[in-house]
Structure 1
Amino acid sequence: MIRIFSDLHWGHKASRVKELDVLESLVSGVDTVIFNGDTVEQKFEDSPAHVDHPLPSIGRLKDKIESLDSKAIFLTGNHDPEVSQAHYCTIDNGSVLITHGDAIFDAIAPWSANARILKKLVEQGLGKYHADGSNPFYDHLQVFKEASIKEHAILKDYDPTVWGKIEVFVRQAWPPNRPLKILECWENAPKKATGLMTQFGMSPDFLIIGHTHKPDISVIGGTTVINTGAFLPWPGATAVDIDSTGITVRKVMHRKGEFSLGETVKRFKKEIDLQSLETPVPKNNKIRSRADSQVFA
């Protein structure tokens, strides 16, 4: 069985994942776990604030998963664009596609105070973008990862002092219309996601994303778009289980610091070849993962 999560944001103060042991009940007994982006925080890992208190290590998480006899695949997000070299997975000859979802918006995170910076970086990247012909979809996603890397470098000024924390609070509270932007993105995400598929001539039966932190199941044309939410206090997370007979979406419950799988949200019957899981990584990829090839060992 394959199980998919996204947006753990391990290392972020708002994340409900404080220690790796709390994930055991969600991972035990699963053959392959796909972490679909924003698994760990890489945004400020080079800042002075983390010299004495480094952010979580993806290596530790990988070791933990393997200790439970499961295989871990880490896909990139906008908060961890260097966690691996993998931007998406396909199963069953592309009928199921898994990707974080940060490339569905031209500003990556339109609700962010840094939306203008991100949009400009993406525009610059796309202006220089030349697909090598082998995988234009991967090359397109890579532009967005490189934009996030550059944004992280620009923001490498986190100050752990009181004034620094106030500055972060003000930044996160800006712009004033941020709640409206978030609601707008929640509404538009499924159509944006399928639009990205159409742009590259892809038409998966199931498209599994995260990024917006809002659990959702929407049918757009012939594609069912599943958003797995986030491991934050609200609005919650879901897990997607894929076995040979179909796809199951289940709630992720959090009580007294412990996680467990809750009720089934939706079950889709479909014959699936689990051995067909592919994680395309072009050999000429410019981004060198900080986790290097150990993630795919």
Structure 2
Amino acid sequence: MSERIVIISDTHLGRPHAAAASARALRPLWDGADRFIVNGDTAEVHHPSHWCEAAKETMQLFDLCETDDVQLTLLSGNHDPYISDIRHLHLARGIIFVTHGDVLHPAVAPWSPAAGRIHRAYQNGLEQLEDGDRETLEARLQLAQHASHEEWKHLHELKREASRSTMFNMIIRPWAVAKVVWYWRIVPRLASEFIKQHAPEAQFAIIGHTHRPGVWTCRGRTIINTGSFGFPGTPRAVVLEGRELKVVRIEWRGEQYELGTHALARYELPEPVDSVAAETESARPAASVPKTRPGSDRPSVPAI
């Protein structure tokens, strides 16, 4: 039986600006889908000014998907590193590799004012691993998760750094703009190299994180970035059904988001995406976390 999967990223729920309006506004995106995947940075659970609203919106997202009988899967990102222990997915028998994208650089977000601190946390974690474990997929993903959390541990630094992350303050910090543009340019290559090493069977990589939507062919692989509901505010969705993968715009219509009717890119898959297809994920859900439906793990209270 053919399964319909919709993948988005970087909703940043709970933030009053540069974010998706609400969980309810996202509801039309999973209409007719069997599974809805948010590929990292679902909610601003890292920030003391936002985490209450972020937690409320996250629970609302689960409630709505459960009501609609849609399986919800959250992957963790650098803004919500422990909202989920799912760090990556292999879909369509490994042909499609999904991860947020924070794993592609040891500083996680090299344009960030906290990049130096994040990089040091990553390196410190790396040094604690045995030589043979340092380059495994699981180690790389967990190191990025650990380093991302380190960014938000220093609350006295957090508000000051977050206040410098507005578009205006980026403009008055030309070096930050230059780093963003530089990183945007190299991300397709970094993603291609990463999956060559860690998921060599994958022909497609679906990422988010950088907020720059696009589709690139790099070294024989297709790299898809679904963008963000924050700046620059041009989110995309990947829709998987049967043997088809397509990329569509997410459009704001009235008080809600809807999938665009025109495919920006369309590919035929050699393997179908269905409920029988082999799929693996780096998930270690706590036994005490209640499930909504199989595969949907609500975050525990400490996680949000």
TM-score scaled by structure 1? 0.85
- Residue of 178, 187, 196 corresponding to 2:176: 178
Aligned to 1:139: 139
Q: Does 1:10 align with 2:13?
A: yes
Per-residue deviation, 1:132: 8.7
Q: Secondary structure at the match of 2:54?
A: coil
Per-residue deviation, 1:136: 2.7
- Residue of 188, 193, 206 corresponding to 1:208: 206
Aligned to 1:152: 152
Q: Does 1:125 align with 2:125?
A: yes
Aligned to 2:35: 32
Q: Give the partner amino acid of 1:169.
A: S
Sort the Cα spacing of 1:10 and 1:95 in 2 relative to 1 into closer, same or farther, 3 A.
same
Matches within 5 A, 1:90-109: 90-109=90-109
Query: Counterparts of 1:156 and 1:246 in 2: how far apart (Å)?
Result: 48
Query: Counterparts of 2:204 and 2:238 in 1: how far apart (Å)?
Result: 11
Sort the Cα spacing of 1:269 and 1:198 in 2 relative to 1 into closer, same or farther, 3 A.
closer
Equivalent residues of 1:84, 1:292 under 8 A apart: no
Equivalent residues of 2:212, 2:226 under 8 A apart: yes
List runs of 5+ in structure 1 lacking aligned partners: none
Per-residue deviation, 1:281: 3.2
Per-residue deviation, 1:170: 3.3
Q: Secondary structure at the match of 1:103?
A: helix
Q: CA RMSD in A?
A: 2.7
Per-residue deviation, 1:131: 8.4
Sort the Cα spacing of 1:254 and 1:96 in 2 relative to 1 into closer, same or farther, 3 A.
same
TM-score scaled by structure 2? 0.83
Per-residue deviation, 1:23: 1.1
Query: Counterparts of 1:278 and 1:63 in 2: how far apart (Å)?
Result: 25
Query: Counterparts of 2:225 and 2:34 in 1: how far apart (Å)?
Result: 22
Per-residue deviation, 1:221: 1.6
Query: Counterparts of 1:108 and 1:69 in 2: how far apart (Å)?
Result: 34
Equivalent residues of 2:24, 2:61 under 8 A apart: no
Per-residue deviation, 1:277: 5.4
Aligned to 2:54: 55
Query: Counterparts of 1:63 and 1:150 in 2: how far apart (Å)?
Result: 30
Aligned to 2:23: 20
Query: Counterparts of 1:195 and 1:14 in 2: how far apart (Å)?
Result: 34
Equivalent residues of 1:9, 1:38 under 8 A apart: yes
Query: Counterparts of 2:254 and 2:19 in 1: how far apart (Å)?
Result: 11
Shift >6 Å, 4+ stretches: none
Per-residue deviation, 1:18: 2.5
Equivalent residues of 1:91, 1:274 under 8 A apart: no
Identity %, equivalent residues: 28
Equivalent residues of 2:90, 2:97 under 8 A apart: yes
Q: Secondary structure at the match of 1:56?
A: helix
| 1:230-270 per-position Cα deviation (integer Å, ceiling 9, x unaligned) | 11252411100111121010000114442111121011012
Aligned to 1:269: 268
List runs of 5+ in structure 2 lacking aligned partners: 299-304
Residue correspondences, number: 282
Query: Counterparts of 2:209 and 2:164 in 1: how far apart (Å)?
Result: 22
| 1:11-64 per-position Cα deviation (integer Å, ceiling 9, x unaligned) | 1232342322211211121100111000111211xx3x469x543332321111
